[in-house]
Amino acid sequence: YYFHNNDYLEICRCYKAIYEIPSVRENPSQWIPVLRKICWYLILAPHDPMQSSLLNSTLEDKNLSEIPKFRLLLKQLVTMEVIQWTSLWNAYKDEFENEKNMLGGSLGDKAAEDLKQRIIEHNILVVSRYYSRITLKRLAELLCLTVEEAEKHLSEMVVSKALVAKIDRPMGIVCFQVVKDSNEILNSWAVNLEKLLDLVEKSCHQIHKETMVHKAALKV
């Protein structure tokens, strides 16, 4: 079912369950191929909190040292640096081709496209961390894409709510906005409310003081 729907994250979780079986963990010839598949499906899965959590927990797995190329690949995805697609593909193309059978036929070809898509999305997220405003032309240069391709990928991420950004097409400028989580918003609201109440209290105190002074002046 998950293969049919290209649900890479759920496929990864299924392999993760297999990986946790004691008899598998005891035999390197069994767990190494499974761990490789976990890595590939993690990389192919779109970025979201669950994917990020699994990615970080997998990086903490000591067994990953047995397949250093995959550890390095996962490390690149959690590092806030732009990844050059051409360099990455040249370095991992053979590894990917070796694993292509795990994806099967046409899905293998689609997985190659999705791998490039994930790297582009990673790079857009990296750019959004370092820039609040950037021209579409410069964004395209950083992504090694045409302006039209860069705008297409950015728009898809905005629609999927992977990030918040506004595109000013006439000016050719992208404005990135920081996404606040619900706790941060509530904390900010609480601080502002506290400041408002403090201001009201001081104002009332000042008004009361001025009223008392005015009444005292009238009595004189």
Q: List the chain pLDDT tens, one digit each, 220 residues.
A: 455 456 889 988 999 999 999 999 999 999 999 999 999 999 999 888 889 899 999 999 999 999 999 999 999 999 889 999 989 999 988 888 877 665 554 456 788 889 999 999 999 999 999 999 999 999 999 999 999 999 999 999 999 888 899 999 889 999 998 655 556 556 666 677 777 777 888 888 788 777 777 777 766 5
For residues 7 and 110, membership in a common domain is answered with: yes
For residues 124 and 51, membership in a common domain is answered with: yes
The CATH number assigned to the domain holding 136 equals 1.10.10.10
* Long-range contact set of residues 11-18: C-beta below 8 Å, sequence gap at least 24: 11/41, 12/37, 12/38, 12/41, 12/42, 12/45, 12/54, 13/54, 15/41, 16/54
Check if the beta carbon of residue 43 is closer than 8 Å to that of residue 118. yes
What's residue 100's pLDDT? 66
Domain encompassing residue 186: 181-220
For residues 197 and 170, membership in a common domain is answered with: no
- Can you name the residues that pair with 8 across neighbouring β-strands? none
Of the candidates 111, 129, 147, which is a domain's last residue?
Answer: 129
Here the tokens at position 182 are 């619900």
For residues 196 and 206, membership in a common domain is answered with: yes
DSSP-derived secondary structure letter, 79? S
CA distance 64 to 34: 11
Q: Is 122 exposed, middle or buried (0-12, 13-18, 19+ CB in 10 A)?
A: buried
What's residue 119's pLDDT? 94
Q: How many domains does the chain have?
A: 3
Q: ∠ CA(199), CA(200), CA(206), 5° rounding?
A: 90
For residues 29 and 113, membership in a common domain is answered with: yes
- Burial of 90-119, coded b for 16+ CB within 10 Å and e otherwise, reads eebeebbeebeebbeeeeeeebbebbeebb
Here the tokens at position 82 are 């732009």
For residues 88 and 197, membership in a common domain is answered with: no
CA distance 26 to 23: 5
The dihedral over CA atoms of 58, 61, 63, 65, expressed in degrees to the nearest 10, equals: 90
What's residue 55's pLDDT? 92
pTM exceeds cut of 0.75? no
For residues 154 and 208, membership in a common domain is answered with: no
How many residues appear in the chain?
Answer: 220
Angle between helices 85-103 and 68-78 (to 10 degrees): 120
For residues 173 and 188, membership in a common domain is answered with: no
For residues 86 and 157, membership in a common domain is answered with: no
What's residue 101's pLDDT? 63
For residues 124 and 145, membership in a common domain is answered with: no
For residues 92 and 59, membership in a common domain is answered with: yes
For residues 115 and 141, membership in a common domain is answered with: no
What's residue 3's pLDDT? 52
What's residue 5's pLDDT? 54
